[in-house]
Amino acid sequence: MRLLVGDIGGTKTALGVADTDGEHVDLSGLRRYPSASFATFDQIVQHYLNETGFSCRFAAFAVAGPVQDRRSETTNLPWALDADALEHSFDFAGVELLNDLEAVAWGIAVLEKQDLAEIHPGDALNQGNACVVAAGTGLGQAGLFWDGFYHHAFATEGGHSDFAPVDDLEFALLTHLKRRYGRVSWERLVSGPGIANIYEFLLLRHGASQPAWIRKAIEEGGDTAAAVAQAAVDGRCSLCAEAMDLFMRFYGREAGNVALKHMALGGVYLGGGIALKNLALLRKGSFLEGFFDKGRMGSLMRRMPVRVILQPHTPLFGAARFTTSQ
């Protein structure tokens, strides 16, 4: 089966053509576009088809947002997607929409050993449920139910559940963010914008001013999270290091929460650009400290393997596999 596949994110949208038999997936014609440069998703699809000259009868698109009744309004973009409308606009015989983390979960089965980086081995021979947690523009989460023979992926919107502070520093952070957002979800902390939120809070708490060289890096790159993470890795800024240490602890805590709720003895998979770009910080200790810190469930947490997904096209693999499973 040949189909057009897409991964629609708040920052980037990737498109390609997948050839699949349901188990193996071959991708070709891959392109990435800045999402904010297009007023609608239809414009990206039309641009891609014009640019590549490809023609497909079927399509499947992974969307950063909830999908209901073949429709989705993207969480971090002003786009509304409708599978029926896409079929009509581009003369597709069939279009599937699925949540982007559900697509990642579907794609895990086709990953090779080199597509994963191990953070914690756990009990590698375990079989059971698994989960995916991905911090990027937002915080995506999905589950994989184990029926005794196969994993079945399903979407969640768990990243929007309430953040829970555990000490005075975190209560102060929660109070700070409540003034800005009202309700504070885990996504407000475990995401790229979350890194910026933590950094800005620590600047205020310490009464510190932002160094000129960091301000310049942010202005030139337009990405506070990337500038703070790089400064932490380079050892140039103690406050950036504190921000990333707190971020990693939060990431580990929430990944552990998701793992507990799914009883993820089959593995915890970290997706998204932040894990991919910050493997050294993930392995440094704060992430796993947060992950294991579950009181009486600490020994259970240590049985769960934790792996980072290195393959950036996993959602495209998953979108293709999802379509053939329907």
Annotated binding site for ATP: 6-11
- 63 C-beta neighbours (distance < 10 Å), count: 29
Q: Whose structure tokens read 């310490």?
A: 206
Judged on CB neighbours under 10 Å (0-12, 13-18, 19+), 242 is: middle
Q: What are phi and psi of 267, to 5 degrees?
A: 130, 145
> What DSSP string describes 237-299?
-HHHHHHHHHHHHHHHHHHHHHHHHHT-TT-EEEESHHHHH-HHHHHHSHHHHHHH--GGGHH
Q: What are phi and psi of 99, to 5 degrees?
A: -60, 145
Q: Which residues define the annotated binding site?
A: 6-11
CA distances from 42 to 35, 61, 81, 316 (A): 11, 12, 9, 18
Angle formed by the axes of helices 192-206 and 238-262, to 10°? Answer: 130
212-220: list long-range contacts, CB under 8 Å, 24+ apart.
214/240
Can you tell me whether residue 41 is helix, strand or coil?
helix
